[in-house]
Amino acid sequence: MFDALLRRAVPGRSHGAAPVADGPHPTGHRTFDGIARMPALFGRQGGPRQRPDGDGGYPANAGSTLATWVAARVEPKPLAALLPAGFALTDPLLIVEAITFTGLPWLAGRGYQMLMVSTPVRYTTGTATHQGRLELVTWEDRPDAIISGREELGWNKIYADTMTRYTAADGAQIRYSAAWDGTKFFELHVTLDRRVPQLASWRKGPLMHYRVLPRTGQWDTLDVEQVTAHTTTPALTSMRSVRSGDGAFRFRPAGFEELPTLCHIVNRLAAIELGDTVDAGQARTAAWSDVSDIHIIGSSTTDTDAESC
């Protein structure tokens, strides 16, 4: 039946016949415009740092950001074991930030959730030293943000399909959880009971990312090995509220059957013994950032032996 329909649609052409060439077609054309991102064959691709319809970015005051965080003192040895070469702990803190973005212009008013894990570090490359934080891993629930962040920024973003925030009616009790395919691997609870005039001191300095890309077909070789960094902070005019209080968090261990692509990450974080909470709070801003100030600050090497779950 399909053959009959095809013959009626294309008279004189039978099923399986080769198409008739109507002349040479040009090759080697520029396949992208602006920031390149796969698939690069369709022209300019929209994202946080470029519009699909022309030059220029999106206004920073067109979205909003709600960040809730907890920083806990930990045993330094297992945390330091996660760092690439060139990095050293400056304070044994494990910091988690649960962030909700809403009304983002590059998503036509949509938003997404982010869960970022970081620690204070010093990075030395050549004669330069950078002191700030190293982002260890970040979960997000929107693939569009994950793809652009990994490819363009070197941000270690991975996927969680369920990221849930609960805020009590008084705004003082916040609960947050993250899960993948029904397995909950993270929980956070914060009680806000006082206002603070500024953000915590561990936010000082750049946020750094360790970026790697393997060479296709030579899997033990890296084509890209970089450290990227940015210092984007909310403008004071966009800050709506900053509150602090007490809080706690935990990563829940899981096996390969529950988290086949995440258990090696979650279990390493869950194995770090948490001590006292040194900072907890929440900040609300009437803005978002495209992180366009990010740049490469150096390169690093590390052993990447996979661990069994």
Q: What is the pLDDT of residue 20?
A: 47
pLDDT number for residue 38: 82
pLDDT tens for residues 11-61?
Answer: 444 444 445 445 555 566 666 678 888 888 887 888 778 888 877 778 777
pLDDT of residue 218: 92
Where the chain has pLDDT below 50, the residues are: 5-18, 20-21, 301-306
Question: Is residue 234 situated within a structural domain?
Answer: yes
Q: Which domain holds residue 102?
A: 41-298
Number of separate domains in the chain:
1
Q: What is the pLDDT of residue 24?
A: 57
* 164-198 residue pLDDT tens: 999 999 889 999 999 999 999 999 999 998 877 55
Burial of 154 (0-12, 13-18, 19+ CB in 10 A): buried
Query: Which amino acid type is present at position 253?
Result: P
Domain presence at residue 308 = no
Whether 138 maps to a domain, the answer reads: yes
- Could you tell me which residues are beta bridge partners of residue 225? 212
Please tell me the number of Cα atoms within 13 Å of 300 on its side-chain side.
Answer: 24
d(CA 115, CA 97): 6
User: What's the pLDDT score for residue 181?
Assistant: 97
Gap between the Cα atoms of 79 and 268, Å rounded: 9
Structural domain includes residue 224: yes
Residue type, 152: E
At 264 the pLDDT is 97
pLDDT the model gives residue 27: 60
Do the domain assignments include residue 127? Answer: yes
Q: Is residue 34 part of a domain?
A: no
31 inside domain: no
CATH number at residue 264: 2.40.400.10
**290 with 308: CB under 8 angstroms?**
no
2 is a domain residue:
no
Residue located via tokens 């329909």 = 5
